[in-house]
Structure formats: structure tokens, C-alpha cells
């Protein structure tokens, strides 16, 4: 397990991420991801069902109409995709084999080799992630990394409840293996 190291160490990644957050806070604002899921929904919904979208209080309340659509924040998340795409191609040979593909070995050992089962869990988990993130007002990047770096009270509350629940759920899922 330990010998299958990531391409850069946690020290390099952690310091780089802290510096990137500082740079972003200096240039524009701290990092955030989860809002852009709503923005993407709003863009799609405006095209598909404009009336229902206009009536949606949340979409109306969270941002002026002009603010919806492809702006700074959305480009940041799009950039994450491009950054991940480029580095995963360039450094393909240096990524540990165990971290490749969409059927994690750990998952397969406990829940079997059904792709449908893994994808259903990934989809359902994703829905909970974003429902929770929007209710709390942010996710790992906006609330935890950016929020705690600004010493925001709400982000400490979020971190405690998120880690508490995630650790409990992970132990419940993998209880057979201890």
C-alpha cells in the first residue's frame, strides 16, 4: 500500500494548494467548487424549462441573474477538469495502477465486481454530496480548505460534522474488514 506513492508527495501538494489558495484570495476570492453544480443546473434548466427556473427561489436568491452562467467560478471548475485531464495523460505511467479505473479494489473486495452497483453508489453518493454541500453552503474546497484558512466559524462546524459522519459511514460500509 505504502509503496504505491502518489506522483507528488502530500507535502508538495499541500504547500502548493495553500499557496494557490493565497494567490486566489489575493487576485479574486478563495477557492470553491460546489456552487458551480448549481450554476450548471441553472444554465441547463434555463434552456430546457425557463419558466420553472424563473420560479425557483433558490436560483433567484443566490446570485443576480447576470451572475448565473459561465463566469469566473465556472471557469475554475472547468480548469480543474482540464488540469486533471492533462496531468493524468502526461503522468499516466507514474500513477499507481491501483488508483486507475472505475472499480476500486477496496470496493470490489467487499461489494463485489458489479459495475452497476458501484456506479449506483457513486451516483447516489454524488447526489447526497451536493445536496449536503448546498445546504451547508460549501464543500471540501470552499468550506474546509478556504473557510478554515479564513478562520470562519461555519467552516469549523462543517468540518466537524462532515468528518464525523464520513468516518462513521466509512466504518459502517467496511465493517466486515475492520
Partner 1 sequence: MQLMTIGFLIGCAFGAILFMGGASSYRRILGTLLLKDMLIIKLMCTAIGVGTLGVYLLDLGGLANMSIKPAYVGGVAIGGVVFGIGWAVSGYCPGTCIVGAAEGKADAIFTVLGGLLGALLFSFAFPYIEGALIEPLNFGKVTVQDLTGISGIYLALPFSALLLMLSFVVLKDRYD
**Residue 63 CB, nearest approach to partner 1 (Å):** 12
Contact assessment for residue 102 and residue 118, using Cβ atoms and an 8 Å cutoff: yes
Number of residues that bind partner 1 (CB under 8 A): 131
| Gap between the Cα atoms of 141 and 143, Å rounded | 6
**Residue 44 CB, nearest approach to partner 1 (Å):** 8
HEC per residue, 2-43: CCCCCCCCHHHHHHHHHHHHHHHHHHCCCCCCCHHHHHHHHH
Indicate whether 68 belongs to the interface with partner 1 (CB under 8 A): no
Backbone φ, ψ for residue 60 (5° rounding): -75, -35
Figure out which of the listed residues 105, 112, 113, 114 binds partner 1, where binding follows CB under 8 A: 105
- Residue closer to partner 1 by CB (options 19, 50) is 19
Contact assessment for residue 113 and residue 101, using Cβ atoms and an 8 Å cutoff: no
Indicate whether 15 belongs to the interface with partner 1 (CB under 8 A): yes
Indicate whether 137 belongs to the interface with partner 1 (CB under 8 A): yes
Indicate whether 138 belongs to the interface with partner 1 (CB under 8 A): yes
Figure out which of the listed residues 47, 48, 64, 81 binds partner 1, where binding follows CB under 8 A: 81
Amino acid at each position: 500500500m505504502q509503496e504505491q506513492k502518489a506522483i507528488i508527495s502530500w507535502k508538495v501538494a499541500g504547500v502548493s494548494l495553500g499557496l494557490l489558495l493565497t494567490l486566489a484570495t489575493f487576485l479574486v476570492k478563495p477557492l470553491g467548487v460546489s456552487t458551480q453544480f448549481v450554476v450548471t443546473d441553472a444554465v441547463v434548466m434555463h434552456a430546457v424549462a425557463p419558466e420553472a427556473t424563473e420560479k425557483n427561489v433558490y436560483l433567484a436568491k443566490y446570485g443576480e441573474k447576470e451572475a448565473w452562467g459561465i463566469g469566473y467560478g465556472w471557469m475554475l471548475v472547468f480548469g480543474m477538469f482540464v488540469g486533471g485531464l492533462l496531468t493524468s495523460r502526461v503522468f499516466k505511467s507514474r500513477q499507481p495502477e491501483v488508483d486507475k479505473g472505475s472499480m476500486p479494489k477496496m470496493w470490489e473486495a467487499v461489494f463485489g465486481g458489479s459495475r452497476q452497483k458501484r456506479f449506483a453508489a457513486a451516483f447516489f453518493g454524488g447526489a447526497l454530496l451536493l445536496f449536503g454541500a448546498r445546504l451547508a453552503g460549501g464543500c471540501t474546497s470552499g468550506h474546509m480548505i478556504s473557510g478554515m484558512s479564513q478562520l470562519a466559524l461555519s467552516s469549523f462546524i462543517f468540518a466537524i460534522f462532515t468528518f464525523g459522519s464520513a468516518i462513521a459511514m466509512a466504518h459502517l460500509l467496511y465493517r466486515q474488514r475492520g
